[in-house]
């Protein structure tokens, strides 16, 4: 049984079962085409965000009190969480903000449990915090990417009225397929302000704490007018709150984050895609949904899109398809010339046989089709990492096919029949090709085994490249011999001729002379080899190190930082001036500003 296993020839088996081979060829091509259109498309691959923000408020406390009595206790609790790595805290009057990061080596599948542990431990120590502390609050979703952002602007509507429309729009957008989350930005909350003059209280003989206590006991009012007529009792007398205080409804001051688009204050709606979704299809669905929403908006409210990631991804995928077609054409031209070009002995006249190049050309879409099926099964979508990996693999996946076809062509020229030439190619080259393929795939193994965020982000380089290489070997030993027997042409030979080695062509003669010269001048050859290696190392040191190339997005981000303590109004005033200057530059389509 062991001897038979060693003699098993995949190429021979494929030729002996032509119906099954044809069936697999067609089915895999169709499945690959279907898988390509089912793959999720996004700009970047999904990865786990290993950070959480913990925030707490203590109205009236100084920055030092916040740091000593709140921040310090929270930090000590967070240090007990498994995989804790970095803890950065910012304490300011009335507020603490802590950024908690876990180690890059933390398993992505355990992140939900880690965040649960954070909440549980902080909840357990909540009683040790001073009275009056509000929170802590947790945010482990601030790594969400809002690929599509829309703005709602209005003429004659208040922030509150515009926010009501934004809430309605949000509810409708959440129903769109592949929408995971819709966040509202720039909405200003309304609050009721009660301003009491200490002088007025002294004239009426009222105590400020008494007024606050009575308001706290009620703490439920339907309107500002109800609050104004609320009775305040003290010393046997009763006063209306509106008589002793100014009661008004106004927006929070200082404002929350403001959003401006095309010179107007707007409310933004950011949309994040569900994991594994298709950003291009999501963009099409959102376009349809927003057209219906615009038709239902009140007159005076406009809805515009100022961030559209789907167009960026569509352009990236389009560029990949273009590069892929160019690469395929280049490979085909090289294959046609290198495999099909034959010079006549003693003459510069040549003939060009298109058949060997056609065999290689058919294997390219076949390998890509099976690779797309594998990507679909593994859950790897189309993004900048996987697309780049396919382009890298494209230059490698034709190697095995070229070796197999070249061996068949050579054996046909030596007098072998098609079947024997195809099976001989497997016997002579299958294991060396597999060894070379595995070595090349192993070169990407460190990326696949990296236990870090970077490793998770770039995992598709290893997965896609290794899969494409192994699939190319399988195609070369199973499908290429079959395709070769259909397309390649047997060379005519005289009756009685026996198969023989064919190394007397002008090409082999010149190549043999070059090899002989290298052997005779071995030290020169070794010196040139070492010199080339050193030159390559020196040149590599001069190449700029960059994890990713510069973004090709048609946008520029400008950050404005102000000294600590700068008022919101001063910040807003300078930002508006910068916005106005940028909007006047040539080529600028629109400017969107976030203030706060």
Q: What is the pLDDT of residues 367-385, one digit of tens each?
A: 989 999 999 888 888 887 8
Please give the Cα distance from 432 to 442 (Å, whole number): 15
pLDDT at 4: 43
In the chain the first and final C-alpha atoms are separated, in Å, by 76
pLDDT at 542: 84
Q: CB of 14 within 8 A of CB of 21?
A: yes
391-412 burial, b for 16+ CB within 10 Å, e for fewer? Answer: eebbebbbbbbbbbbbbbbbbb
Q: Which residue has the higher pLDDT, 2 or 91?
A: 91
The burial class, CB within 10 Å (0-12 / 13-18 / 19+), for 377 is exposed
Q: 2-38+353-502 adopts what CATH topology?
A: Multidrug efflux transporter AcrB transmembrane fold (1.20.1640)
**What's the pLDDT tens digit per position in 220-234?**
677 777 777 778 777
* 431 dihedral zone (left: phi>0; alpha: psi -120 to 50; beta): alpha
Mean pLDDT estimate for the chain? 82
Residues 6+ apart with CB under 8 A from 356: 335, 336, 339, 340, 405, 406, 409, 488
* pLDDT for 534 beyond 90: yes
pLDDT at 409: 80
3-state class (DSSP) for residue 261: strand
Q: CB of 41 within 8 A of CB of 383?
A: yes
3-state class (DSSP) for residue 150: strand
Mean pLDDT of 303-328: 80
pLDDT at 370: 93
* pLDDT for 92 beyond 50: yes
Strands (DSSP E) contained in 294-427 are 301-308, 341-343, 350-352
Nearest partner of 260 among 566, 579, 559, 578, judged by Cα:
579
Of the given ranges (44-58, 157-171, 234-248), which has the lowest mean pLDDT? 234-248
Of the given ranges (74-78, 140-144, 408-412, 590-594), which has the lowest mean pLDDT? 140-144
* pLDDT for 402 beyond 90: no
pLDDT at 233: 77
Residues 6+ apart with CB under 8 A from 448: 455, 459, 462, 463, 466
Mean pLDDT of 20-24: 91
What dihedral angle (degrees, nearest 10) is formed by the CA atoms of 233, 234, 240, 246?
Answer: -130
User: What confidence category does residue 331 fall into, taking pLDDT thresholds of 50, 70 and 90?
Assistant: confident
pLDDT at 451: 80
User: What confidence category does residue 585 fall into, taking pLDDT thresholds of 50, 70 and 90?
Assistant: confident
Cβ atoms < 10 Å from Cβ of 125: 14
User: What confidence category does residue 346 fall into, taking pLDDT thresholds of 50, 70 and 90?
Assistant: low
Nearest partner of 453 among 88, 89, 102, 79, judged by Cα:
102
Q: Distance of alpha carbon 234 from its chain centroid, rounded? A: 64
**What's the pLDDT tens digit per position in 488-517?**
877 655 455 555 555 666 667 788 888 899
Two tokens, residue 13 = 């088996």
Please give the Cα distance from 440 to 396 (Å, whole number): 9
Please give the Cα distance from 359 to 570 (Å, whole number): 70
Q: What does the angle CA 176 – CA 180 – CA 185 come to, to the nearest 5 degrees?
A: 95
* φ, ψ for residue 219, nearest 5 deg: 55, 30
* pLDDT for 205 beyond 80: no
pLDDT at 1: 39
Under CATH, to which class is 190-251 assigned? alpha beta
Please give the Cα distance from 546 to 544 (Å, whole number): 6
pLDDT at 493: 54
Two tokens, residue 100 = 């908690």
* pLDDT for 581 beyond 60: yes
Two tokens, residue 146 = 């809002």
* pLDDT for 210 beyond 80: no
Domain 146-184+265-310 falls under CATH 3.30.70.1320: yes
Mean pLDDT of 132-150: 82
* pLDDT for 345 beyond 70: no
Mean pLDDT of 441-460: 83
Please give the Cα distance from 132 to 130 (Å, whole number): 6
Under CATH, to which class is 51-139 assigned? alpha beta
* φ, ψ for residue 221, nearest 5 deg: -135, 145
pLDDT over 70 for what percent of the chain?
Answer: 91
Please give the Cα distance from 480 to 469 (Å, whole number): 15
Please give the Cα distance from 139 to 99 (Å, whole number): 10
Pairing verdict, β 231-234 and 237-240 = antiparallel
pLDDT at 3: 43
pLDDT at 373: 92
Q: Which helix (H) or strand (E) holds 18?
A: helix 18-38
Please give the Cα distance from 420 to 339 (Å, whole number): 19
Q: CB of 457 within 8 A of CB of 385?
A: yes
Please give the Cα distance from 112 to 50 (Å, whole number): 10
Residues 6+ apart with CB under 8 A from 170: 182, 184, 269
Please give the Cα distance from 518 to 538 (Å, whole number): 25
Q: CB of 43 within 8 A of CB of 279?
A: yes
Nearest partner of 409 among 489, 331, 511, 493, judged by Cα:
489
Q: What Rg do the C-alpha atoms of the chain give, in angstroms?
A: 36
How far apart, in Å, are the Cα atoms of 411 and each of 364, 501, 503, 547? 23, 8, 11, 46
**What's the pLDDT tens digit per position in 247-290?**
787 777 777 788 888 888 888 888 888 877 778 888 888 888 88
Two tokens, residue 419 = 């079947």
Q: CB of 58 within 8 A of CB of 65?
A: yes
* pLDDT for 563 beyond 60: yes
**What's the pLDDT tens digit per position in 212-223?**
777 777 766 777
Nearest partner of 396 among 354, 438, 427, judged by Cα:
438
């Amino acid at each position: 049984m062991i001897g038979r296993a060693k003699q098993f020839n995949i190429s021979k088996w494929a030729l002996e079962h032509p119906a099954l081979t044809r069936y697999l060829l067609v089915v895999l091509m169709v499945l690959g085409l279907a898988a390509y259109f089912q793959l999720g498309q996004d700009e970047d691959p999904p990865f786990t965000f290993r950070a959480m923000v913990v925030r707490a408020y203590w109205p009236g406390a100084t920055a030092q009190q916040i740091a000593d009595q709140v921040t310090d206790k929270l930090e000590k609790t967070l240090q007990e969480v498994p995989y804790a790595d970095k803890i950065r805290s910012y304490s300011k009057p009335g507020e603490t903000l802590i950024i908690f990061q876990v180690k890059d080596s933390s398993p992505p599948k355990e992140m939900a449990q880690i965040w649960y542990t954070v909440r549980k431990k902080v909840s357990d120590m909540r009683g040790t915090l001073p009275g009056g502390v509000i929170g802590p609050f947790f945010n482990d979703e601030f790594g969400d990417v809002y690929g599509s952002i829309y703005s709602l602007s209005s003429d004659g509507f208040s922030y509150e009225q515009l926010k009501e429309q934004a809430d309605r729009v949000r509810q409708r957008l959440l129903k769109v397929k592949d929408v995971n989350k819709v966040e509202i930005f720039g909405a200003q909350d309304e609050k009721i302000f009660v301003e009491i003059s200490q002088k007025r209280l002294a004239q009426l003989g009222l105590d400020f704490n008494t007024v606050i206590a009575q308001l706290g006991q009620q703490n439920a009012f339907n309107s500002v007018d109800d609050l104004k007529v609320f009775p305040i009792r003290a010393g046997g007398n009763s006063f209306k709150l509106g008589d002793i205080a100014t009661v008004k409804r106004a927006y929070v001051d200082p404002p929350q984050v403001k959003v401006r688009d095309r010179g107007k204050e707007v409310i933004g709606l950011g949309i994040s895609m569900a994991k594994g979704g298709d950003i291009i299809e999501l963009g099409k669905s959102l376009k349809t949904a927003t057209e219906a929403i615009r038709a239902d908006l009140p007159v005076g409210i406009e809805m515009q899109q100022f961030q559209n990631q789907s167009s960026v991804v569509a352009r990236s995928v389009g560029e990949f398809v273009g590069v892929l077609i160019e690469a395929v054409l280049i490979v085909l031209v090289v294959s046609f010339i290198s495999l099909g070009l034959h010079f006549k002995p003693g003459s510069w006249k040549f003939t060009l046989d298109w058949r060997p190049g056609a065999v290689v050309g058919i294997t390219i879409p076949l390998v890509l089709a099976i690779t797309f099926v594998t990507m679909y099964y593994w859950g790897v979508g189309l993004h900048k990492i996987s697309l780049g990996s396919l382009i890298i693999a494209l230059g490698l996946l034709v190697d095995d096919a070229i070796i197999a076809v070249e061996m068949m062509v050579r054996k046909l020229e030596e007098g072998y029949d098609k079947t024997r030439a195809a099976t001989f190619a497997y016997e002579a080259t299958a294991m060396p090709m597999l060894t070379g393929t595995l070595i090349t795939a192993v070169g990407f193994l460190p990326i696949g085994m990296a236990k870090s965020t970077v490793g998770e982000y770039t995992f598709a380089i290893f997965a896609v490249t290794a899969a494409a290489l192994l699939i190319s070997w399988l195609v070369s030993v199973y499908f290429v011999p079959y395709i070769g027997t259909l397309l390649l042409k047997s060379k005519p030979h005289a009756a009685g001729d026996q198969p023989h080695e064919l190394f007397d062509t002008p090409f082999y003669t010149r190549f043999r002379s070059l090899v002989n010269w290298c052997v005779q001048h071995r030290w020169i050859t070794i010196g040139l080899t070492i010199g080339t290696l050193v030159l390559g190392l020196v040149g590599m040191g001069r190449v700029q190190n960059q994890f990713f190339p510069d973004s090709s997005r048609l946008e520029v981000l400008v950050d404005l930082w102000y000294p600590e303590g700068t008022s919101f109004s001063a910040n807003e005033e300078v930002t508006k001036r910068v916005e106005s200057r940028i909007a006047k530059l040539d080529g600028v389509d629109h400017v969107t500003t976030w203030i706060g």
